[in-house]
Amino acid sequence: MAPDPWFSTYDSTCQIAQEIAEKIQQRNQYERNGENTTKLTVTIRALLQKLKEKIALLKDLLLRAVSTHQITQLEGDRRQNLLDDLVTRERLLLASFKKEGAEPEPIRSSLMTGGAKRAVPNPWLFEEPEETRGLGFDEIRQQQQKIIQEQDAGLDALSSIISRQKQMGQEIGNELDEQNEIIDDLANLVENTNEKLRTETRRVTLVDRKSTSCAIKVERCIEVKYRCKASPPNLFFFFKCFFLSQMKKNYLYYTCI
């Protein structure tokens, strides 16, 4: 697989920044010696413009990689820190070019070693995490893809759990609706039963009232006939038993309606 374009662009940008620092130091040396610095000034301006364009390209590549999930959030933060350091270094170089600050640090270090040029190590490599230290671009990409796959699997599991919880909630809601319908039917049945009980109670009360009135009238008639000696002595008892049997039949009839 091809190397990551962001890191290749980043390395070339660091080289441009190092070259600008060396050119600025050379220009300052020419000025102290009274030599012409016009050519160096034009070269430094061109390199500064190129450095600015490279940093803009790095920003665009980083934004595209983060938005399309080509890299993890941790890797995106690490690259952003590297990019911020480059932006700070660009400002220092521009200030040094305009003679608004001190000379670049790498050049002062080379002067202390007798002016010999030496490669300046990339200070951001010391901030690289243990997980990616010593790995190549392809290995880092594979590690990032593995992390993304694990995250996707975790999201799928979470989605499945949420779906099951939603289904359980719907089933509980349906069960509650059925229970509410059963309770409503039971309430209607109880109301109907109470109404029937009230109706039957009224009927029994009416039958009892009518039976009592009829019994009183029959007893009076029998008593009158007995006094007039129009019937034998046990006629009163006979009519009373007959009347009570009729009351019992009427009561059973009304209660079975």
Under DSSP, the state recorded for 120 is P
The separation between CA 122 and the C-alpha centre of its own chain, rounded to angstroms, equals: 42
What pLDDT is stored for residue 102 in this prediction?
Answer: 46
Whether 93 and 61 have beta carbons less than 8 Å apart is answered as no
Q: Quick check: 255 pLDDT over 60?
A: no
How many Å apart are CA 202 and CA 232, to the nearest integer? 39
Range scoring the smallest mean pLDDT among 27-41, 66-80, 121-135, 204-218: 121-135
How many Å apart are CA 216 and CA 212, to the nearest integer? 6
CA angle 131, 137, 141 (to 5 degrees): 70
Q: Give pLDDT tens digits for 61-92.
A: 999 888 888 888 888 888 999 999 999 999 99
- Going by C-alpha positions, the residue among 149, 135, 152 that lies closest to residue 78 is 135
What pLDDT is stored for residue 114 in this prediction?
Answer: 39
Whether 47 and 19 have beta carbons less than 8 Å apart is answered as yes
Q: Residue 58 class from Cβ within 10 Å (0-12 exposed, 13-18 middle, 19+ buried)?
A: buried
How many Å apart are CA 226 and CA 201, to the nearest integer? 37
Non-local CB neighbours of 181 within 8 Å, separated by 6+ positions: none
What pLDDT is stored for residue 70 in this prediction?
Answer: 85
Range scoring the smallest mean pLDDT among 19-28, 68-77, 95-104, 153-162: 95-104
What pLDDT is stored for residue 113 in this prediction?
Answer: 40
Helix (H, G, I), strand (E, B) or coil at 74: helix
How many Å apart are CA 18 and CA 83, to the nearest integer? 15
Q: Quick check: 143 pLDDT over 60?
A: yes
Residue 175 or 127, more confident: 175
What pLDDT is stored for residue 125 in this prediction?
Answer: 41
What pLDDT is stored for residue 207 in this prediction?
Answer: 80
Q: Which sequence spans correspond to the domains of the chain?
A: 201-254
- For 213-225, what is the mean pLDDT? 61
What pLDDT is stored for residue 200 in this prediction?
Answer: 87
Q: Give pLDDT tens digits for 240-252.
A: 566 666 665 555 5
